[in-house]
């Protein structure tokens, strides 16, 4: 039975690892400037963790195979006692932790602890049960103030703007898709209207929660034109699974044209 | 208050006092395990319905339309019903199975015997904590029968979704209040239980039972109860604040200006992140509350069946203590992307990674223990070995989630689901199974059927890998968790993989019927168990199977040996703790 | 299938404004109040509804749908105005025919559905995806239910008179009304803004016109016998 | 091979018979009380951090003077600790009864203080500071009531001359902790005004 156990564990470990190694299911291609480094960090972690996983499972398998019951043989203790194992684990895992932390925290810091590049396109994002809405400042470059008491889905006043009294709000463009120009830094300012939501675009390698009561900044640069899906990853209620929007990355000229059309329709 | 073991309590005569409102820790331990069994069957059935829905979202579930006319009219599961099932599945499993069975269940039965006491330090408090746990479970389950049904905010109940009331969705009215009340009640039960475990371990050890001679499982229960004491002492006030926000109009977690379903909420100034901090300060240690008893059980079982001592017992205990300490410094890794200060993400990441060192050491100690042993394969030892395997699988994926940079992509995906199901769900369940096969003879005086037990192991072992390993792949492909259907274009190609998982989950679930059958049949028809069927050393094996009311038949055992003396030469290769010097 | 056909037929009848219960024989002699609803002032600018998050709803509407909170017709006529007898009515048992409310192309059809208290209401989902129906009732019990593709219709009724806003949280632009009335005499204007309340016995009535954005107006009308009286309403529109 | 595991027959090695209760045992009651104190401290520490976070999360922390009655209540509670200590040292019933009365007075005084605040329209949901005030005082009062229950038990055992000194000590430790906890909460509520 020890041999059976060893074989089953080995097969499970090797098949599982092979599916990872051959990228049978894998991340979609990256379309952001910072994503390359996240992918590299992911790959490095995958190699290290994968090695530990396979080695751990195989060691278990080998020991179980080798030391199955035989009532005649005297038991032997592990050579050197626990000390070599403690040293092995501490050194091996310790080095791994140091490396991952040094490299990884730099990747993290570059995405979340740096200010957005000057000249970033400013877009306000509103997360609500169960949709995202996006706001561009319009011709005046200014966002109208948000008034929760004026928010109304029925009249499409998702951001609670007050165009009657607030002239900066009149030219704000509010749409249901995030349209951005390629290769231009974008800065989002994220508002939650009701409960927690999250902003996740797998291809952009970016994810960030919306928190009610806070305005959360997020910035990135998209490098490949196309249409991608933005989904909510923070449980927000019954329509959570259907809370999504599309991110359209357009060439600069197309983006300008789109913005002009939207402004004209106001 | 009681005077503990010195005066003891006589065996009561009435049926109610002996079997229902018993203060005997053994009866209470069995009651906890029975409660966990009811809970785990409920939780598993809920997960079947969820899995079925994920594979075939538009196919009506036969008969479900009658059971849940609101949530699944015509058998078609609504998104809110899916989320309600998910919330109840998580809450039931985490609190009423993974906390209850390995810790409160086995711990209650065996901790007093392990230390050589005739009962817990406070038997009446012990009884109270069981009945309070049952009350908490009943309050939670009652959410199925009220108003719009159970809450849908998940077992983490993030505010303000959980705090603002019924505007936030079906189930967020009475159902969510019942959830919060149930968890607050559960905290009371756990605090009382932990108090008993700690006092018993500290004060009621028999002669010769130094701390160094405590069996490993008891060490694990002791450390778990210290963790639990701190963790549940934080969760309870958090639940009280949540209840006040819901029913008394306070604003601890609800900020100003929220508009939910076109209604401006009458709250101001609260902090949603406060709930997350309080919850995860409890929530991460809770992971260790679920898994550390498994560590103890496996460390106790492996030497018995390898016929040699656990490698590095002192290292093992040092690592347990290190994990307990570190578990309180890592809660922020659940909140990397929550909107808290990004700098603190790095600070929380480091202890999270460091905690893998003691965990790795413990794993190596188990594998090293096998070296040079004479492994005997029983259902118990197979599940203990399986525990090592699934714990490695679950632990490794933690490397990805502990780093903020890779968590950016994987947070909120099935990768997380795979990780915690392996490490705290499956591994803890394997610990429970190992403990059951190991201690059943002692608890009920009858042997379990080994053939059925082994079939149960093999099918379950392969089954859980088929269920949970593919979830890593889903996560890598960006599959978001807590979705009731995958309508997004990029998720649709993943549905076949979901179907595979569903089939595997239904299969693995069905396999558990073997266990259930074995459990019930062996309780009445199993062959009589000898006192020490596995040739083990700890005190429970020095008394009869099952132990008498006062555990040692009016005698107080004297301990002269550690729990780890296996592999000696001679006809009997082990020395029992109660053997004379 | 037949039931579905009848459902649609009834739906058309409701949405085209002949919502009065047709099966009850009106007491004779009976009068009629008819008229037209128009507006003065500046209309709010209609915005195209952005349905981008639900692509199959986008494809169902080749030209973009405009918001429905201020729909007007030729000659300043106002659509979706509920005109009903708010006082003077003797009351009547609830109509037994079912009011049908449909979700199609991520819109509520009709936008405004008027019904009597206790009158059966059936809500259908004709879209190939899930909706949730959330009537924001305050007097009546509020509820919020999803209706996935393939789920049976939701059958219900309301016990108290109330103007209930209905929304779909999954598609925030979906917005409509259940107008629950005591009287059997009510109608919802079509794009001509014209209405006609028939079968009124002699007596003094208050006729009320309600519009979700332009507010409420009432007039007193006395019916002497078998006659037709005119009551026109002019509502005030504001740009914001 | 599964049968090979079972030893042919196992006799329980005879554990030496020892008279139960031999030798002095540490008081489990005292251990229990100290663990309880640790737990209660942890809960209030969590609530304290909640207060700090909540106070900084929005500028809506209203200022109101605490009812002066609280200071009188504080004296009553401190006095009860003194009488309890006297009772414990001399095993005297009279001073124990006085402690019970003072403890009850303290709880009644807290209720009166709530009523005074309520009369100023400062209720639980009025604002964050009043919410924390009611929460802290109510939770503390509940724990004091629990302590009173324990003291009642002590009183009954003392009257029946069946009280272990260690048990009395345990009850006293808990009661003194209630006073310490209250002083902490009062200070917190004052400096976080």
CB contact under 8 A, A56 and B412: no
From the list A2, A25, A239, the residue facing B473 with the nearest CB is: A25
Residue bearing the bigger pLDDT, B87 or C91: B87
pLDDT, tens digit, 9 for 90 and up, residues B209-256:
999 999 999 999 999 999 999 999 999 999 999 999 999 999 999 999
A141 DSSP assignment: T
The domains found in chain D, sorted by start residue, are 29-45+68-191 (1.20.120.80)
Q: How far apart are CA C11 and CA C1, in angstroms?
A: 15
| Helix H or strand E encompassing B263 | strand B263-264
Q: Is residue B555 part of a domain?
A: no
A246 vs C: CB within 8 A: yes
Res. D20: pLDDT tops 50: no
Low-confidence ranges of chain C (pLDDT < 50): 1-22
Q: Is residue B479 part of a domain?
A: yes
Identify the pLDDT of residue C2: 44
User: In this structure, are residues B326 and B354 in contact, taking their beta carbons and an 8 Å threshold?
Assistant: yes
User: In this structure, are residues C175 and C212 in contact, taking their beta carbons and an 8 Å threshold?
Assistant: no
A237 vs C: CB within 8 A: yes
Identify the pLDDT of residue B571: 81
- Cβ-Cβ contacts under 8 Å, D1 against chain A: 1, 69
Q: How far apart are CA B461 and CA B384, in angstroms?
A: 11
B163 DSSP assignment: T
User: In this structure, are residues B566 and B304 in contact, taking their beta carbons and an 8 Å threshold?
Assistant: yes
Residue D25: pLDDT band with limits 50, 70, 90: low
Interfacial A residues in 172-211 facing D (CB < 8 Å): none
Write down the mean pLDDT value for chain D: 87
Interfacial B residues in 285-314 facing A (CB < 8 Å): 306-309, 311-312
Domain ranges of chain C: 2-237
Domain count, chain B: 1
Architecture of domain C2-237: Sandwich (2.60)
B513 vs A: CB within 8 A: no
Q: Is residue B223 part of a domain?
A: yes
pLDDT, tens digit, 9 for 90 and up, residues B552-571:
988 889 999 999 999 888 78
In the A/C pair of chains, how many CB contacts fall below 8 A? Answer: 65
Chain C nearest-CA distance from B85, in A, is 15
CB contact under 8 A, A71 and D4: yes
Phi-psi region of D121 (alpha: psi -120 to 50; beta: other; left: phi over 0): left
pLDDT, tens digit, 9 for 90 and up, residues C203-224:
999 999 999 999 999 999 999 8
Rg (CA), chain D: 24
pLDDT, tens digit, 9 for 90 and up, residues B7-43:
456 777 788 888 889 999 999 999 999 999 999 999 9
Q: How far apart are CA B116 and CA B278, in angstroms?
A: 38
Chain A nearest-CA distance from B476, in A, is 5
| Helix H or strand E encompassing B566 | none
Q: How far apart are CA B475 and CA A28, in angstroms?
A: 11
- Cβ-Cβ contacts under 8 Å, B122 against chain D: 28, 32
User: In this structure, are residues D145 and D36 in contact, taking their beta carbons and an 8 Å threshold?
Assistant: no
Chain B nearest-CA distance from A142, in A, is 22
Q: How far apart are CA B383 and CA B389, in angstroms?
A: 10
pLDDT, tens digit, 9 for 90 and up, residues A106-149:
899 988 999 999 999 999 999 999 999 999 998 899 999 999 99
Closest CA to C113 of C101, C105, C104: C101
D4 vs A: CB within 8 A: yes
Write down the mean pLDDT value for chain B: 94
Res. D2: pLDDT tops 60: no
User: In this structure, are residues A136 and A123 in contact, taking their beta carbons and an 8 Å threshold?
Assistant: yes
Q: How far apart are CA B32 and CA B26, in angstroms?
A: 10
CB contact under 8 A, D15 and B236: no
Phi-psi region of A157 (alpha: psi -120 to 50; beta: other; left: phi over 0): beta
Q: How far apart are CA D156 and CA B307, in angstroms?
A: 54
Cis peptide bond N-terminal to B546, omega within 30: yes
CA atoms within 13 A on the CB side of B467: 27
D60 vs A: CB within 8 A: no
From the list D1, D57, D58, the residue facing A69 with the nearest CB is: D1
In the B/D pair of chains, how many CB contacts fall below 8 A? Answer: 179
C176 DSSP assignment: E
Identify the pLDDT of residue C5: 43
| Helix H or strand E encompassing A199 | strand A197-201
Chain B nearest-CA distance from C184, in A, is 30
A177 vs C: CB within 8 A: yes
pLDDT, tens digit, 9 for 90 and up, residues B410-458:
999 999 999 999 999 999 999 999 999 999 999 999 999 999 999 999 9
Length of chain C: 240
Q: Do chains C and D touch (3 or more CB pairs under 8 A)?
A: no
C-alpha dihedral, B52 to B56 to B58 to B62, nearest 10°: -40
Res. B488: pLDDT tops 90: no
Identify the pLDDT of residue B108: 97
Q: How far apart are CA B256 and CA C136, in angstroms?
A: 21
Residue B65: pLDDT band with limits 50, 70, 90: confident
CB contact under 8 A, B58 and C129: no
Q: Do chains A and B touch (3 or more CB pairs under 8 A)?
A: yes
| Helix H or strand E encompassing B182 | helix B174-203
Burial of residue B325, with CB atoms counted within 10 A of its CB: 0-12 exposed, 13-18 middle, 19 or more buried: middle
A239 vs C: CB within 8 A: yes
pLDDT, tens digit, 9 for 90 and up, residues A11-36:
999 999 999 999 999 999 999 999 99
CB contact under 8 A, A131 and C171: yes
Interfacial B residues in 131-160 facing C (CB < 8 Å): 148
- In CATH, what number is assigned to the domain containing residue B443? 1.20.210.10
Identify the pLDDT of residue B7: 42
From the list C136, C151, C167, the residue facing B74 with the nearest CB is: C151
pLDDT, tens digit, 9 for 90 and up, residues B161-200:
999 998 999 999 999 999 999 999 999 999 999 999 999 9
- Cβ-Cβ contacts under 8 Å, D139 against chain B: 237, 240
B479: containing domain: 18-256+263-542
Q: Are strands A185-192 and A197-201 parallel, antiparallel or unpaired?
A: unpaired
Identify the pLDDT of residue A110: 87
CB contact under 8 A, A153 and C173: yes
- Cβ-Cβ contacts under 8 Å, D54 against chain A: none
Q: How far is CA D12 from CA A60, B217, B307, B578, D163, in A?
A: 34, 21, 19, 9, 39
Length of chain D: 193
How many Å from the N-terminal Cα to the C-terminal Cα in chain D? 73
Burial of residue C171, with CB atoms counted within 10 A of its CB: 0-12 exposed, 13-18 middle, 19 or more buried: buried
Q: How far is CA B316 from CA B217, B313, B365, in A?
A: 11, 5, 8
């Amino acid at each position: 039975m020890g041999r059976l156990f060893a074989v089953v564990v080995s097969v499970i470990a090797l098949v599982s690892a092979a599916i990872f190694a051959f990228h049978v299911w894998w991340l979609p291609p990256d379309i952001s400037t910072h994503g390359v480094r996240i992918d590299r960090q992911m790959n490095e972690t995958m190699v290290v963790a994968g090695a530990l996983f396979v080695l751990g499972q195989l060691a278990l398998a080998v020991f179980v195979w080798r030391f199955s019951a035989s009532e005649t043989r005297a038991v032997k203790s592990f050579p050197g006692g626990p000390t070599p194992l403690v040293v092995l684990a501490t050194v091996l895992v310790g080095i791994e932790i140091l490396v991952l932390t040094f490299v990884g925290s730099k990747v993290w810091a570059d995405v979340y602890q740096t200010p957005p590049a000057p000249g970033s396109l400013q877009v306000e994002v509103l997360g609500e049960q169960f949709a995202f809405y996006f706001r561009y400042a319009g011709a005046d470059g200014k966002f109208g103030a948000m008034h929760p008491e004026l928010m109304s889905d029925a009249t499409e006043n998702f951001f609670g703007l007050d165009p009657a009294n607030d002239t900066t709000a009149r030219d704000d463009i509010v749409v249901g898709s995030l349209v951005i120009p390629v290769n231009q830094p974008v800065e989002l300012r994220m508002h939650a209207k009701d409960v927690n939501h999250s902003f996740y675009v797998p291809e952009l390698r970016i994810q960030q929660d919306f928190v009610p009561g806070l305005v959360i900044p997020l910035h990135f640069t998209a490098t490949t034109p196309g249409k991608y899906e933005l989904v909510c990853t923070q449980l927000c209620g019954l329509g959570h699974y259907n809370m999504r929007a599309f991110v359209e990355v357009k060439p600069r000229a197309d983006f300008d044209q789109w913005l002009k059309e939207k402004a004209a329709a106001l | 208050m009681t005077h503990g073991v010195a005066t003891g309590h006589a065996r009561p005569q009435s049926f109610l006092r002996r079997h229902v409102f018993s203060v005997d820790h053994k009866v209470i331990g069995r009651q906890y395990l029975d409660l966990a069994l009811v809970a785990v069957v409920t939780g598993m059935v809920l997960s079947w319905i969820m899995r079925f829905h994920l594979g075939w979202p538009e196919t009506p579930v036969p008969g479900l339309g009658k059971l849940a006319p609101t949530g699944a009219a015509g058998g078609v599961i609504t998104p809110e019903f899916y989320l309600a099932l998910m919330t109840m599945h998580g809450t039931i499993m985490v609190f009423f199975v993974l906390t209850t069975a390995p810790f409160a269940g086995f711990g209650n039965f065996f901790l007093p015997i392990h230390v050589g006491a005739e009962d817990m330090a406070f038997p009446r408090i012990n009884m109270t904590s069981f009945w309070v746990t049952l009350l908490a479970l009943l309050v939670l389950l009652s959410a199925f029968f009220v108003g719009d049904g159970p809450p849908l905010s998940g077992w983490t109940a993030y505010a303000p979704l959980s705090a603002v009331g019924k505007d936030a969705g079906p189930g967020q009215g009475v159902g969510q209040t019942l959830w919060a009340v149930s968890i607050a009640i559960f905290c009371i039960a756990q605090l009382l239980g932990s108090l008993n475990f700690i006092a018993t371990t500290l004060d009621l050890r028999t002669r010769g039972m130094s701390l160094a001679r405590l069996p490993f499982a008891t060490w694990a229960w002791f450390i778990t109860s210290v963790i639990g004491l701190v963790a549940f002492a934080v969760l309870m006030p958090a639940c009280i604040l949540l209840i006040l926000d819901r029913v008394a109009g306070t604003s601890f977690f609800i900020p100003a200006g929220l508009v939910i379903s076109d209604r401006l909420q009458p709250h101001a100034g609260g902090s949603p992140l406060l709930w997350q901090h309080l919850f995860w300060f409890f929530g991460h240690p809770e992971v260790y509350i679920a898994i550390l008893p498994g560590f103890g059980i496996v460390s106790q079982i492996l030497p018995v069946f390898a016929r040699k001592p656990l490698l590095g017992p002192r290292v093992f205990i040092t690592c347990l203590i290190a994990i307990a300490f570190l578990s309180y410094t890592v809660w922020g890794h659940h909140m990397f992307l929550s909107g808290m200060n990004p700098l603190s993400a790095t600070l929380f990441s480091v202890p999270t990674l460091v905690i893998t060192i003691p965990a790795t050491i413990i794993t190596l100690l188990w594998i090293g223990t096998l070296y040079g042993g004479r492994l005997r394969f029983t259902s118990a030892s197979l599940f203990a070995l399986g525990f090592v395997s699934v714990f490695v699988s679950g632990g490794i994926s933690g490397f990805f989630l502990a780093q903020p940079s890779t968590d950016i992509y994987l947070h909120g995906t099935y990768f997380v689901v795979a990780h915690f199901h392996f490490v705290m769900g499956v591994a803890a369940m394997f610990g429970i199974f190992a403990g059951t096969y190991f201690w059943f003879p002692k608890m009920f005086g009858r042997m379990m059927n080994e053939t059925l037990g082994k079939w149960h192991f093999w099918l379950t072992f392969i089954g859980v890998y088929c269920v949970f390993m593919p979830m890593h792949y889903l996560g890598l492909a960006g599959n978001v968790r807590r979705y009731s259907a995958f309508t997004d274009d990029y998720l649709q190609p993943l549905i076949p993989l979901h179907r595979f998982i569903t089939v595997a989950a239904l299969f693995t679930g069905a396999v558990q019927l073997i266990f259930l059958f074995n459990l019930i049949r062996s309780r009445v028809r199993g062959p009589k168990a000898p006192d020490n069927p596995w040739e083990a050393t700890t005190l429970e094996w020095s008394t009869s199977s099952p132990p008498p009311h006062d555990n040692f038949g009016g005698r107080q055992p004297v301990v002269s040996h550690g729990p780890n003396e296996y592999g000696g030469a001679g006809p009997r290769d082990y020395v029992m703790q109660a053997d004379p010097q | 299938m037949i039931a579905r056909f009848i459902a649609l037929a009834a739906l058309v009848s409701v949405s085209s404004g002949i919502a009065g219960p047709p099966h009850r024989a009106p007491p004779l002699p009976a009068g009629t109040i008819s008229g037209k609803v128009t507006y003065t002032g500046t209309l709010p600018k209609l915005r195209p509804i952005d349905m981008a998050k639900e692509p199959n709803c986008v494809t169902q509407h080749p030209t973009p749908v405009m918001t429905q909170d201020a729909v007007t017709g030729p000659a300043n006529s106002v659509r979706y105005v509920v005109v009903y007898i708010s006082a003077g009515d003797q009351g009547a048992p609830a109509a037994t025919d079912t009011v049908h409310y449909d979700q199609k192309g991520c819109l509520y059809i009709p936008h405004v559905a008027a019904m009597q208290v206790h009158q059966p209401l059936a809500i259908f989902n004709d879209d190939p995806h899930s909706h949730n129906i959330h009537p924001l009732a305050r007097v009546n019990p509020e509820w919020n239910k999803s209706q996935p593709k393939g789920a049976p219709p939701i059958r219900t009724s309301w016990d108290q008179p109330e103007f209930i806003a209905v929304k779909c949280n999954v598609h925030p632009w979906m917005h409509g009304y259940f107008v629950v009335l005591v009287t059997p005499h009510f109608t919802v204007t079509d794009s001509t803004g014209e209405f006609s309340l028939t079968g009124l016995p002699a007596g003094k009535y208050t006729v009320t016109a309600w519009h979700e954005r332009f507010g409420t107006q009432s007039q007193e009308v006395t019916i002497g016998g078998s006659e037709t009286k005119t009551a026109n309403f002019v509502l005030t529109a504001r740009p914001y | 091979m599964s049968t090979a595991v079972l030893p042919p027959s196992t006799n329980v090695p005879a554990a030496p018979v020892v008279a139960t209760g031999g030798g002095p045992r540490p008081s489990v009651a005292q251990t229990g009380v100290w663990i309880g104190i640790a737990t209660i401290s942890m809960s209030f520490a969590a609530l304290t951090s909640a207060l700090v976070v909540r106070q900084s999360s929005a500028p809506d922390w209203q200022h109101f003077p605490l009812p002066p009655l609280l200071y009188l209540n504080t004296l009553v509670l401190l006095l009860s600790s003194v009488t309890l200590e006297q009772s414990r040292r001399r095993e005297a019933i009279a001073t124990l009864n006085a402690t019970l009365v003072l403890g009850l007075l303290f709880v009644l005084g807290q209720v009166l203080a709530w009523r005074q605040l309520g009369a100023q329209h400062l209720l639980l949901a009025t604002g964050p500071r009043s919410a924390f005030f009611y929460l802290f005082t109510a939770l503390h009062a509940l724990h004091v009531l629990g302590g009173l229950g324990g003291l009642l038990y002590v009183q009954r055992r003392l009257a029946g001359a069946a009280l272990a000194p260690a048990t009395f000590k345990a009850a006293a430790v808990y009661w003194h902790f209630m006073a310490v906890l209250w002083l902490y909460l009062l200070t917190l509520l004052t400096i976080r005004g």
